[in-house]
Chain A
Amino acid sequence: MNRAKRFPYLFAAPAILLFLAFTVYPIIASFVLSFQERVGGEYVFAGLKNYTRLWNDDIFWTAMQNTFIIFVVQVPVMIILAMVLANVLNNQLLKLKGFFRVSFFLPAVTSLVAYSILFSIMLQEEGIINTALSYIGITAIPWLSDPFWAKASIIIAMTWRWTGYNMVIFLAALQNIPEDLYEAASLDGANKFKQFFYITVPQLKPVILFAGILSTIGTLQLFDEPFNLTGGGPADSTMTLGLYIYQSGFEYFDFGYASAIAYAVVVMVGILSIIQFKIAGDE
């Protein structure tokens, strides 16, 4: 009995110890740092100064707004796209399934180096994308130099990179849905569309939630795309929280302030995740 009681702790111990050492400790350390500022090369206690500065920092609010816009547009677009693709790939009439599956997953494993060089070249004003668009009569789009289109570029790049990844998650879950559910539904006269909304979506709910939270975290920490494609410009229109944290620490050497921003992000992700749980209605 005693052994059985100890068992769960024993089994969770490695994870918990590693977690304490490599996650909890650095988190506390950087939390402490967020109440400090650098004076003449030394960190001294500064009270809430970093946080009040944050409250009055236009760039922070711009970053917040940008992140929010990107989040609201990108996450749903990607999840819907991933679900559509997963549904199509789940069709047994389809040939070459494995081939498609791997191909769609590829972007998620591309090296960031190749990805950023390629996208920055393709998105130039005379780049391959605008050239392609000109064939269908669309005039050149200033992908990286216009505030609106720069955001769009970031969204496109992110969607390209992560749709296949989410699709794979959905695909696995789709195959888990009992087939008799569909059979019953079609006997009841529900068309494919209805089946999708009344069976597939509810059955996938936990997975959608899962993908949604992952994407929320990913978006709020968004760094790679703006760092490599736009550098946050033009005029902060693609500045994100992740990028601002990086710049504050690594370019302006103010790690106290960087930590304060990071904690603001944590609070926000927390709130958003709770909202998502609430909307999804279960845990």
Chain B
Amino acid sequence: MKKVTGLVSISMMLVLSLFLAACGNGGSEDEGSGDSNKVTAWAWNINVPVLEKAAEKFKEENPDFELEVVEMGTDDVYSKLTTGLQAGGKGLPDIVLVEDDRVQGYMSAFPDAFVNVSDKGFDEMKDSFPSYKTELVSKDGAMYGFPFDGGPTGVFYRTDIFEEAGVNAEDIKTWDDYIEAGKTIKEKTDKAMIGLDLNGDDGLYRMMLNQQGTFYFDDEKNVALTSEESKKAMKVQQTLNEEGLVKETVGWDAWISAMTSGDVATAPSGAWLYGSITQQGKDTSGNWGLIELPAFEEGGNRASNLGGSNYMIPSASNNADLAYDFMEFFSTNKDVQLSAMEGGLFPSLNTIYDNEAFTKEVEFFSNQPIWSLLADEMDSIPAVNYTGDYAVAKDEAVKAQSEIANGKGIEEALKASEDRLKNRIQ
């Protein structure tokens, strides 16, 4: 019995100390963000070393500078950022990493929430980045973020499977060629050409839209799901599916797994896939190749983008000036940007593309110089309009894609999705 009384009093003391600790801690936290030499950043795993490397170099000129990187999962960054913005700019960092397809959503839902970096002088560096990246972070002519990595696309393919089927990847120039190659591979090796998550993600469709210079929305921000380009892109997917060249891979893990275990022959994707397959498919080194995305007609554009990210400074930051100085350094320092490549990130800073890191042969890719192939694309990637309604539009596009895969007509499915989308964003 005494024990229980003891327990109760101990717990009461704990509560009390907790309250005190809470206050103490809260106070110091507040001081932390007000500290004029310290900058906090939110980013996910492979980006952390790059930030740290930059901080180290930045310190050479600014010895008092301190950077605290809070490492978190990609989705977690958004959960926390959205919560903080929604609560009126509470608990936010000085620097946050945001993917390309999320940037405009945040800028439009929270118009004054990010620092205008053009005002602070970043326009001078504009030419060091491809226009599709700078346009992405711009609103009314001003930039609200620092372009970081890009996702120039290509078709990653398994050289061993192509060899077995006797197909030369370099001969694939158009999507029709791609489908033909797929048929041969299917026939000779019984392997699928591509892994797609037809009910869950529309990465291929988006790449094909971007490649044709359009997106879910046209340049005037009108819904464009029923555009000719959109229909063409869906047609390619439909044909792939009907010819039995698609392996259904639901979710990221399954998709990566299909590639590294050699169940599919190709993966059209962004440059960052390099990091994933070199890690998950260590045993497959030397069995990979890369070609540009096939064009829709002979000689057509083969450059597109999938993924990539940018750094932004929340307006709520107490230390926006220092954060800006650091990010300007980060974005334009060649060594920093080159170090990003170690994690498989593709820097969008175009002044470094002549560096040896880009021209070298990559062992994992049978000594193909894949980085220069991707770098050459950067200037040809069309800028497209993501708009603030990207997330809803994507939801509807995936539905259309899913319905088409289940037998509905392209025209009909896209029209239905377009109508629903218009309704949802009215």
A and B touch in the complex (CB under 8 A): yes
Q: Assess whether B111 is in contact with A41, with CB atoms less than 8 Å apart.
A: yes
Judge whether A251 is part of the interface by a CB distance below 8 angstroms.
yes
Chain B contacts with A in 248-264, Cβ cutoff 8 A = 248-251, 253-254, 257, 263
Q: How far is the CA of A51 from the CA of B32 in the complex (A)?
A: 42
Q: Assess whether B78 is in contact with A41, with CB atoms less than 8 Å apart.
A: no
Q: Assuming A235-B403, A250-B82, is B112 touching A120 (CB within 8 A)?
A: no
Q: Assess whether A120 is in contact with B253, with CB atoms less than 8 Å apart.
A: yes
Which of the segments A73-81, A122-130, A207-215 contacts the partner chain?
A: A122-130
Q: Assess whether A145 is in contact with B250, with CB atoms less than 8 Å apart.
A: yes
Q: How far is the CA of A125 from the CA of B250 in the complex (A)?
A: 9
Judge whether B199 is part of the interface by a CB distance below 8 angstroms.
yes
Q: Assess whether A235 is in contact with B253, with CB atoms less than 8 Å apart.
A: no
**Which residue of the partner chain A has the closest CB to B113?**
A41
Give the Cβ gap from A225 to chain B, nearest Cβ, in Å.
Answer: 13
Q: How far is the CA of A250 from the CA of B80 in the complex (A)?
A: 10
Q: Chain A residues near B78 (CB, 8 Å)? A: 250
Judge whether A275 is part of the interface by a CB distance below 8 angstroms.
no
Q: Assess whether B257 is in contact with A235, with CB atoms less than 8 Å apart.
A: no
Q: Chain B residues near A144 (CB, 8 Å)? A: 199, 250-251
Q: Assuming A126-B263, A235-B399, A236-B399, is B198 touching A145 (CB within 8 A)?
A: yes
Q: Assess whether A253 is in contact with B82, with CB atoms less than 8 Å apart.
A: yes
Q: Assess whether A38 is in contact with B109, with CB atoms less than 8 Å apart.
A: yes
Q: How far is the CA of A230 from the CA of B398 in the complex (A)?
A: 13
Question: Interface range on chain A: under 10, 10 to 19, 20 to 34, or 35 or more?
Answer: 20 to 34
Q: Chain A residues near B395 (CB, 8 Å)? A: 247
Q: Chain B residues near A206 (CB, 8 Å)? A: none
Judge whether B343 is part of the interface by a CB distance below 8 angstroms.
no
Chain A contacts with B in 212-236, Cβ cutoff 8 A = 229-231, 233-236
Judge whether B86 is part of the interface by a CB distance below 8 angstroms.
yes
Q: Assess whether B391 is in contact with A145, with CB atoms less than 8 Å apart.
A: no
Q: Assess whether A231 is in contact with B399, with CB atoms less than 8 Å apart.
A: no
Name the residue among A38, A124, A235 with the largest chain B CB count within 10 angstroms: A235
Q: How far is the CA of A16 from the CA of B223 in the complex (A)?
A: 51
Judge whether B392 is part of the interface by a CB distance below 8 angstroms.
yes
Which one of B79, B112, B402, B406 lies within 8 Å of A250 (CB-CB)? Answer: B79
Which one of A120, A249, A250 lies within 8 Å of B251 (CB-CB)? Answer: A120
Q: How far is the CA of A231 from the CA of B113 in the complex (A)?
A: 29
Q: How far is the CA of A280 from the CA of B401 in the complex (A)?
A: 46
Judge whether B105 is part of the interface by a CB distance below 8 angstroms.
yes
Give the Cβ gap from A204 to chain B, nearest Cβ, in Å.
Answer: 31
Q: How far is the CA of A75 from the CA of B113 in the complex (A)?
A: 44
Judge whether B65 is part of the interface by a CB distance below 8 angstroms.
no
Judge whether B110 is part of the interface by a CB distance below 8 angstroms.
yes
Name the residue among B109, B247, B263 with the largest chain A CB count within 10 angstroms: B109
**Which residue of the partner chain B has the closest CB to A123?**
B250
Q: How far is the CA of A236 from the CA of B247 in the complex (A)?
A: 21
Q: Assess whether B392 is in contact with A252, with CB atoms less than 8 Å apart.
A: yes
Q: Assess whether B391 is in contact with A252, with CB atoms less than 8 Å apart.
A: yes
Judge whether B166 is part of the interface by a CB distance below 8 angstroms.
no
Judge whether A165 is part of the interface by a CB distance below 8 angstroms.
no
Judge whether A117 is part of the interface by a CB distance below 8 angstroms.
yes
Interface string of A238-280 (1 = CB under 8 A from B): 0000000001011111010000000000000000000000000
**What number of A-B contacts does a CB cutoff of 8 Å give?**
70
Which one of B109, B199, B247, B403 lies within 8 Å of A253 (CB-CB)? Answer: B109
Q: How far is the CA of A142 from the CA of B197 in the complex (A)?
A: 12
Q: Assess whether B254 is in contact with A40, with CB atoms less than 8 Å apart.
A: no
Q: Assuming A234-B402, A251-B391, is B105 touching A124 (CB within 8 A)?
A: no
Give the Cβ gap from A55 to chain B, nearest Cβ, in Å.
Answer: 14
Judge whether A121 is part of the interface by a CB distance below 8 angstroms.
yes
Q: Chain B residues near A142 (CB, 8 Å)? A: 248
Q: How far is the CA of A233 from the CA of B201 in the complex (A)?
A: 10
Q: Assess whether B110 is in contact with A41, with CB atoms less than 8 Å apart.
A: yes
**Which residue of the partner chain B has the closest CB to A246?**
B79
Judge whether B121 is part of the interface by a CB distance below 8 angstroms.
no
Judge whether B34 is part of the interface by a CB distance below 8 angstroms.
no
Q: Chain A residues near B112 (CB, 8 Å)? A: 41
Judge whether B300 is part of the interface by a CB distance below 8 angstroms.
no
Q: How far is the CA of A45 from the CA of B246 in the complex (A)?
A: 49
Judge whether B200 is part of the interface by a CB distance below 8 angstroms.
yes
Q: Assess whether A234 is in contact with B110, with CB atoms less than 8 Å apart.
A: no
Q: Assess whether A124 is in contact with B254, with CB atoms less than 8 Å apart.
A: yes
Give the Cβ gap from A128 to chain B, nearest Cβ, in Å.
Answer: 12
Q: How far is the CA of A117 from the CA of B251 in the complex (A)?
A: 9
Q: Chain B residues near A235 (CB, 8 Å)? A: 199, 399, 402-403, 406
Q: Chain A residues near B253 (CB, 8 Å)? A: 117, 120-121
Chain B contacts with A in 67-120, Cβ cutoff 8 A = 78-79, 82, 86, 105, 109-113
Q: Chain A residues near B403 (CB, 8 Å)? A: 235
Chain B contacts with A in 20-51, Cβ cutoff 8 A = none
Which one of B110, B200, B248 lies within 8 Å of A231 (CB-CB)? Answer: B200
Q: Assess whether A233 is in contact with B254, with CB atoms less than 8 Å apart.
A: no
Q: How far is the CA of A255 from the CA of B420 in the complex (A)?
A: 20
Q: Assuming A145-B198, A253-B82, is B109 touching A121 (CB within 8 A)?
A: no
Give the Cβ gap from B189 to chain A, nearest Cβ, in Å.
Answer: 16
Interface string of B387-418 (1 = CB under 8 A from A): 00001100100110011001000000000000
Which one of B109, B198, B250 lies within 8 Å of A120 (CB-CB)? Answer: B250
Q: Chain A residues near B113 (CB, 8 Å)? A: 41
Q: Assess whether A120 is in contact with B111, with CB atoms less than 8 Å apart.
A: no
Give the Cβ gap from A4 to chain B, nearest Cβ, in Å.
Answer: 20
**Which residue of the partner chain A has the closest CB to B105?**
A253
Interface residues of A (CB under 8 A from B): 38, 40-41, 58, 117, 120-121, 123-126, 142, 144-145, 150, 229-231, 233-236, 247, 249-253, 255
Q: What are 27 A-B residue pairs whose CB atoms fall within 8 Å in the complex?
A: A41-B112, A41-B113, A120-B250, A121-B253, A121-B254, A125-B247, A125-B248, A144-B199, A144-B250, A144-B251, A145-B198, A230-B199, A233-B200, A233-B402, A234-B198, A234-B199, A234-B200, A235-B199, A235-B399, A235-B402, A235-B403, A247-B391, A249-B82, A250-B79, A252-B391, A252-B392, A253-B105
Interface residues of B (CB under 8 A from A): 78-79, 82, 86, 105, 109-113, 198-200, 247-251, 253-254, 257, 263, 391-392, 395, 398-399, 402-403, 406, 420
